[in-house]
């Protein structure tokens, strides 16, 4: 899909090839938002470039710096549970 950029502040011209159904969905979504296809792509790529992960990192920060072994932790918790129920 090639779309000339007029009045865009994106700065770089690229050509991408999309399946027809994806191109049609992109065109419809851009029209619905009132932006160009290039602007919509830039918005979507910019929004998904790690924002969700960046927002999540540190949510459960424990302050522990050593490596976490989930298998060892589960085995330890299982042993504690078994000992408590005997």
Segment 38-79, tens digit of pLDDT: 889 888 887 555 566 666 666 666 777 777 788 888 898 888
Containing domain of residue 48, as a range?
Answer: 20-85
What is the number of structural domains in the chain?
A: 1
In a domain, 8, yes or no: no
Q: Please tell me the pTM assigned to this model.
A: 0.43
Measured CA to CA, the distance from residue 38 to residue 45 in angstroms comes to 11
User: How much is the average pLDDT of 6-26?
Assistant: 77
In a domain, 9, yes or no: no
User: Does the pLDDT value for residue 15 go beyond 70?
Assistant: yes
In a domain, 24, yes or no: yes
In a domain, 1, yes or no: no
Distances (CA, A) of 74 to 3, 30, 85: 54, 48, 16
In a domain, 35, yes or no: yes
The per-residue pLDDT for 45 is 80
In a domain, 58, yes or no: yes
In a domain, 13, yes or no: no
User: Does the pLDDT value for residue 2 go beyond 70?
Assistant: no
């Amino acid at each position: 899909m090639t779309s000339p950029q007029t009045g865009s502040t994106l700065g770089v011209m690229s050509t991408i090839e999309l399946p027809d159904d994806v191109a049609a969905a992109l065109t419809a979504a851009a029209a619905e938002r009132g932006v160009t296809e290039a602007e919509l792509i830039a918005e979507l790529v910019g929004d998904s470039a790690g924002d969700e992960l960046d927002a999540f990192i540190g949510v459960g920060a424990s302050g522990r710096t050593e490596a976490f072994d989930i298998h060892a932790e589960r085995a330890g918790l299982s042993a504690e549970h078994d000992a408590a129920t005997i």
